[in-house]
Structure 1
């Protein structure tokens, strides 16, 4: 398992100036083309989103009032707090901010090679072996694995499908603890 704290990840500005991305992981690490990618994006202003042909995305609002994503005639959905929203990276989307800047967790998978499912969890969970995953704390404190230090808001862990960590349990350590768990499975 690889630990991360979003606030210590370097932020790269978008080419269009509308936000910044803090990459958690792009797998395989160092490869020219990712199989899957996890990042946290700060969206500062409304405008076009970059298309990612051949990629499926799941977008979860972490802070802010909402983001409406539209592609004329094909897609019109609003991302609401802590509700994963899946969509095709092929779409030429425009983002409309509801009430100002926001932050999102963005999970991207290469279509036909990996598939992601993002769930909001509030209780103990056992994370499957043979899958990659990203575990991100929204509120409270959590423990993942045996002997790991507790994770707080904005922190998490990720691993690839080859990780041999024997204990993949996630346990809330405080009342009202909430986390996001992105299960990233190979497509067979």
Structure 2
């Protein structure tokens, strides 16, 4: 695997409208590359929810959602076994994709970041970083700048501005990341599940 990362500006990724017309999705990355919505091992997306809508079930998939912008939404399963108010920006929320959910907007449209992994094959660790850190090894690593500007230093030096991301498909080289002043960055580490 190449140690050179893929670079994205999430705002420039072509949005795909939902079939129900309630929002759009921008697919940031998927593994294996080119996998469809039902055949992926892992998938990273940005969603813009414009009105109350159902969330499709993804049996066998573990999900993590992070509010990026807007007042957020309430996620609820039929019967209320899962009832979560996603209204704190940059606070990852993990849940099973097995059960369909309804999303009710709190106060207008919102944008959220999504990570999905196939249970038993991959695991996802999603954290918010606000100070300098060094990357720990993972099979896939994504850095998404959410606030401020971040300097990513390794074999080369890169600057990330809000909504820009770097993705390594394979363990990254020795890399450190630090905010220019203050900022927030989402760190996604995907690993093959070796427990089974």
Q: TM-score, normalised by structure 1?
A: 0.93
1:92 aligns with 2:100: yes
Task: Supply the RMSD in Å over aligned alpha carbons.
Answer: 1.3
The alpha-carbon deviation at position 28 of structure 1 amounts to 1.0
SS at match of 1:7: helix
- Kept in 2: contact 1:38–1:134 (CA 8 A): no
SS at match of 2:160: coil
Which one of 146, 164, 176 corresponds to residue 155 of structure 1? 164
Which one of 166, 173, 181 corresponds to residue 173 of structure 2? 166
5 Å-filtered alignment, 1:128-143, equals 128-143=136-151
Q: TM-score, normalised by structure 2?
A: 0.90
- How far apart are the structure 2 equivalents of 1:58 and 1:145? 27
The farther-off stretch of 85-94 and 137-146 is 137-146
The alpha-carbon deviation at position 177 of structure 1 amounts to 1.0
Which consecutive unaligned segments of at least 5 residues does structure 1 have?
A: none
Which consecutive unaligned segments of at least 5 residues does structure 2 have?
A: none
1:29 is aligned to 33
